[in-house]
Chain A
Amino acid sequence: MVASYVFYGTWNPPFAALLFATTALDFYLGARMGAASEPRARRVWLVVSLVVNLSMLGFFKYGNFLLQNFEGLVGLLGFVYKAPHLDIILPVGISFYTFHSLSYTLDVYSGVIKPTKSLRDFVLAVSFFPQLVAGPIVRAADFLPQCVKAPLWNRDRFLWGLWLMNLGLFEKVVLADALLSGSANSVFGHAAPLCALDAWTGTIAFAGQIFFDFAGYSTCAIGAALCLGFQLKDNFRFPYAAVVFFDFWRRWHISLSTFLRDFLYIPLGGNRGGAGRAAMNLIIVMFLGGLWHGAAWTFVAWGILHGCYLVIERVLIGVFAGKIQASGRLTQVFLGLLTYVAVCVGWVFFRAKDFSTALRLLHSMFNGGGGELILSTREILQVGIVTVLTIIFHWRLKISPSRKRPAGCPAGFSERLGPLWAAPSS
């Protein structure tokens, strides 16, 4: 716990106090909720927790965004209002630790866990340094039980944890930063139309970069936690081998998608209110999921686009029920590549700094030529090779990765080293 606070404090010491305040408040609210016998009282404490946590997140992360939009809105109504720019420092990891802490009061309210009596355990659960600043979003219900009994040191688990940390660093430092980020930055930072090859290369470079960056960090976090004897669940499971979008969201940032499913989609009614209501719920969830990633309308557009993908897919699955599952390998690969391309189109909105950049890039991707050539042949080859290998690996490893020898991996590799090969699932 002390190490976690020192880790956080090395970024900006005063903000460690904010982290503790959020944690202590939810600990208190959880205890009050546990002590309350009336459902109404429990609901009041939950509302207090939601309002305080989300207000904190809203102020630090969305303060300026909300003010700018308010300025634009009153401008549309004919009023002149110049919003002040708030000089707010965004606390590192606030989106993650707010959800860590919030998951506790939500799970206590729904009866999944009983309120913990140990503030120390809860402080550790929220601030545990491997997952503190970039996830995965670890639910209190998953972490608190592990604090009851101090984990015993185990050599094999420790070395496996070290291996995972190495693998995560490789994904982040070599694949994301050294091999992919340069092309993505050049393409998304270019202020003029590009030729289709360059536009696509930059986009798929970003698709790979964000995966290896995020999955690499998650793998490091899982490995670091394992070295200390704690278990964190997988956050990515070969997402670029997803055949459909529902499959993609079961494989991409799993800790966020399950959080949103359990605490937003299902309380909104989930699938229970008919197809129209379910579609609306999906769009709402993906809208908020997009906004969670950043305070800009481009993130919202990314979220809504994925919401639309999911709704359209649900309609199509209704029409072609059973046929996709029964279809051959080739159809599966075709659908997988189609999903990958659509996901890449979504990444354009996610990465572009504004809508004009996103639309210019999409135009370059689909108009067939006429723009500038800015990437060297070496960069195109580099991105192409990494992307093709990533997709092949994802496809080969997505089925029971830890037990079967992936096709094509060396003979004798299966039982002993197969799991090392398959570890990127984290």
Chain B
Amino acid sequence: MSSSTFNFERHVPPVRWTQIAVFAALLLMVGVVGWELHCRHAGYAPTVNDSMELWSARRCAVAPDSVVIIGDSRAWFDLDLDELEKGLGKRPVQLALSGSTVFPVLENLCNDEKFHGTIICSVLPVMYFVPAGPPLKRSQDAVDHYLHQPLSERLDLPLAMFLEQRLAFMNMQELTLEEMLKSLPIPDRVGVAHGPNLPPYFNSMNPERQARMIERCVQPGPLQDLVRRTWPPLFTPPPPPPGVTQEQAMRQFGLAFEQRLKASVSAVERLRQRGGKIVFVRFPCSGPLKELEAKNTPRERTWDVLLRATNVPGIHFEDHPELNAFECPEYSHLKPDDVAEFTRRLVPYLKASL
């Protein structure tokens, strides 16, 4: 019946294998060195990639009584772990995710029966109440990855981080083939629907996931301008999908808002029952972005409502002149020189709230 018996020998081409191997090794070496030099010349420096593997590893580092930072990119850029450790007596674990809706991470920690520590949660209303889409997916993916991470990836992470801290071309945010192809100046057809562009590479990160804005973005120039231009589309609600009126969309959003509020109350309650603590923080922003946020997500209809419903203490930068005294170079995040000072000023409020 079966036609399969072993009579197969793969043909090995009769070529000069040693010379080919030596030539390939040399070519590889020249290519790697050349590409690394080019990337450094173009302004890239070695940085740890903000991968799901690293996020999962930091989530694994959360002890039952840890202080944990969660939220969007503002909590990621604007807090200094050394200053928080000095002020709070414990070194926090940084779990904030740029461009994300924090809720899945908050819920994961609140549902973790072992965890009874402290959560510092950044609330950026335009992100916190997003009902669906990439911001929600980003944090949900991170949680799913943490829950189902294969052992092979945990073993792979130290090697990846070793290389990423030494080689600039390993920047996955902009220097993968896919990302470089995206930046080709090819005009699009008329009528192509685009999602808003994400900001380009403008931060580095250390193995503890502490992000810092790079100097080229701190100084006025093309990169700073480009980053500033990416915020308005990202902070403006998208138009309703085809076939849905503005009123219907608003009604749907209202329902989703209420659901998120209820789910937040329930999650916070579970954390408190185990003795855990939480504080919401609204981090600084500047310029036209501040005005846009105030217009699209007015404080009294978002931040205040969340605080009232959950009965969680909140620290809003606008309520405290010493926290409101910082200018964000690209309107959304603090520059590295300000981060330690901002954190020092924030610590007394955190202590009072917790």
**Is B191 at the interface (CB under 8 A from chain A)?**
yes
A165 to B151, CA, bound (A): 23
**Is B189 at the interface (CB under 8 A from chain A)?**
yes
Q: Which of A110, A160, A233 contacts B13 (CB 8 A)?
A: A160
**Is B352 at the interface (CB under 8 A from chain A)?**
no
Q: Is the CB of A262 within 8 A of B4?
A: yes
**Is B309 at the interface (CB under 8 A from chain A)?**
no
**Is B273 at the interface (CB under 8 A from chain A)?**
no
Q: List residues 113-127 of chain A with CB under 8 A from any CB of chain B.
A: 113
A 250-265 binary contact with B (CB < 8 Å = 1; else 0): 0000000010001100
A382 to B178, CA, bound (A): 11
**Is A35 at the interface (CB under 8 A from chain B)?**
no
Q: A375-B192, A378-B186 are in contact. Are A262 and B151 (CB under 8 A)?
A: no
Q: Is the CB of B4 within 8 A of A420?
A: no
Q: A10-B150, A373-B192, A377-B188 are in contact. Are A107 and B20 (CB under 8 A)?
A: no
A175 to B159, CA, bound (A): 25
B 144-166 binary contact with A (CB < 8 Å = 1; else 0): 00000011100100000000000
Instruction: Give me the interface of B with A, judged by CB distance under 8 Å.
Output: 1-6, 8-15, 17-18, 20-21, 150-152, 155, 176-178, 181-182, 184, 186-189, 191-194, 241-242
Q: Is the CB of A107 within 8 A of B2?
A: yes
Tell me the smallest distance from the CB of A151 to a CB of chain B, in Å. Answer: 12
A376 to B182, CA, bound (A): 9
Q: Is the CB of B177 within 8 A of A267?
A: no
Q: How many residues of A contact B (CB 8 A)?
A: 54
Q: Is the CB of A262 within 8 A of B193?
A: no
- What residues on B are CB-neighbors of A10 within 8 Å? 150-152, 155
Q: A10-B151, A12-B150, A377-B186 are in contact. Are A262 and B20 (CB under 8 A)?
A: no
Q: Is the CB of B3 within 8 A of A372?
A: no
Interface-lining segment among A139-147, A301-309, A333-341: A139-147
**Is A20 at the interface (CB under 8 A from chain B)?**
no
Q: List residues 135-166 of chain A with CB under 8 A from any CB of chain B.
A: 139, 141-146, 155-157, 159-160
Query: 12 interchain pairs (CB within 8 A)?
Result: A13-B151, A107-B4, A112-B1, A112-B4, A141-B6, A144-B6, A159-B21, A178-B178, A178-B181, A179-B181, A377-B187, A416-B15
Q: Is the CB of B6 within 8 A of A382?
A: no
Q: Is the CB of A262 within 8 A of B186?
A: no
The 4 closest A-B pairs by CB, nearest first: A419-B13, A10-B152, A110-B1, A145-B6
Q: Is the CB of A231 within 8 A of B193?
A: no
Q: A10-B155, A378-B184 are in contact. Are A231 and B20 (CB under 8 A)?
A: no
- What residues on B are CB-neighbors of A372 within 8 Å? 193, 242
Given contacts A178-B178, A231-B10, A373-B193, 14 further A-B contacts (CB under 8 A): A9-B151, A11-B150, A112-B1, A141-B6, A142-B5, A143-B6, A159-B20, A160-B12, A160-B17, A178-B176, A377-B192, A417-B13, A419-B11, A419-B13
A381 to B181, CA, bound (A): 11
Q: Is the CB of A402 within 8 A of B11?
A: yes
Q: Is the CB of A420 within 8 A of B13?
A: yes
Q: List residues 344-363 of chain A with CB under 8 A from any CB of chain B.
A: none
Instruction: Give me the interface of A with B, judged by CB distance under 8 Å.
Output: 9-13, 103, 106-107, 110, 112-113, 139, 141-146, 155-157, 159-160, 174, 177-179, 182, 192, 222, 226, 231, 233, 258, 262-263, 266-267, 372-378, 381-382, 402, 415-420
Q: Is the CB of B13 within 8 A of A402?
A: yes
Q: Is the CB of B177 within 8 A of A262?
A: no
A222 to B155, CA, bound (A): 25
Tell me the smallest distance from the CB of A208 to a CB of chain B, in Å. Answer: 15
Q: Which of B5, B21, B151, B178 contacts A182 (CB 8 A)?
A: B178
Tell me the smallest distance from the CB of B8 to a CB of chain A, in Å. Answer: 5
Q: Is the CB of B151 within 8 A of A12?
A: yes
A193 to B8, CA, bound (A): 49
Q: Is the CB of B5 within 8 A of A192?
A: no
Q: Is the CB of B2 within 8 A of A262?
A: yes
Q: Is the CB of A377 within 8 A of B189?
A: yes
Q: Is the CB of A146 within 8 A of B12?
A: no
- What residues on B are CB-neighbors of A103 within 8 Å? 4
What is the chain B residue whose CB lies nearest that of A266? B1
- What residues on B are CB-neighbors of A263 within 8 Å? 1-2
What is the chain A residue whose CB lies nearest that of B178? A178
Tell me the smallest distance from the CB of A227 to a CB of chain B, in Å. Answer: 12
Tell me the smallest distance from the CB of B238 to a CB of chain A, in Å. Answer: 14
Q: A141-B4, A262-B1, A263-B2 are in contact. Are A157 and B12 (CB under 8 A)?
A: yes
Q: Is the CB of B12 within 8 A of A156?
A: yes
A372 to B194, CA, bound (A): 11
Q: A9-B151, A377-B188, A378-B186 are in contact. Are A106 and B2 (CB under 8 A)?
A: yes
What is the chain A residue whose CB lies nearest that of B184? A378
Q: Is the CB of A231 within 8 A of B2?
A: no
Tell me the smallest distance from the CB of B48 to a CB of chain A, in Å. Answer: 21
A378 to B14, CA, bound (A): 40
Q: A374-B193, A378-B181 are in contact. Are A141 and B2 (CB under 8 A)?
A: yes
- What residues on B are CB-neighbors of A381 within 8 Å? 186
- What residues on A are CB-neighbors of B18 within 8 Å? 155
- What residues on B are CB-neighbors of A177 within 8 Å? 178
Tell me the smallest distance from the CB of A337 to a CB of chain B, in Å. Answer: 25
Q: Is the CB of A382 within 8 A of B181?
A: yes
A385 to B58, CA, bound (A): 41
Tell me the smallest distance from the CB of A231 to a CB of chain B, in Å. Answer: 5
Q: Is the CB of A231 within 8 A of B5?
A: no
Tell me the smallest distance from the CB of A289 to a CB of chain B, in Å. Answer: 17
Q: Is the CB of B186 within 8 A of A155?
A: no
Q: Is the CB of A417 within 8 A of B193?
A: no
Q: Is the CB of B187 within 8 A of A11?
A: no
